[in-house]
Amino acid sequence: MDSVSENIVTLYCCMLPGCAKNYSTKFNLRRHVTVYHLKKTHNQCQLCQKWLASKQNLQEHMRMHSGEKPFSCSKCEMKFRFASQLSLHKRKCQYQDTDDLELKIA
């Protein structure tokens, strides 16, 4: 007998007129409404006046203005503004090392 499994996904939708945003958590929906519709945030960039959803987003945004790149690769010393960029780069570096090993072995 084949068993059928159902995947139920709950989405929290913004109900304000003209907004079609959907979120996977209530927290994210509340943050969206607070920041974008009620304009209640203290996370505004003093250089370009852009509003950001969180203090962390503001800190990351400020790196765009300052040029700061605090994350560096231990293999090639390339620098990145975001940890996620470094993580993607490390995967590439790892694969490049693997390719080099395969070439040396062959």
Indicate if the pLDDT at residue 106 is higher than 60.
no
Q: Are 79 and 66 in contact (CB under 8 A)?
A: no
Sign of the alpha-carbon torsion through 53, 61, 50, 13: negative
SS3 percent helix, strand, coil of the chain, rounded to 5, is: 45, 10, 45
Q: How far is CA 32 from the centre of its chain?
A: 16
Note the pLDDT tens digit of each residue in 57-91: 899 999 999 999 999 988 888 999 999 999 999 88
* Interatomic CA distance for residues 70 and 63, integer angstroms: 9
pTM of this structure:
0.51
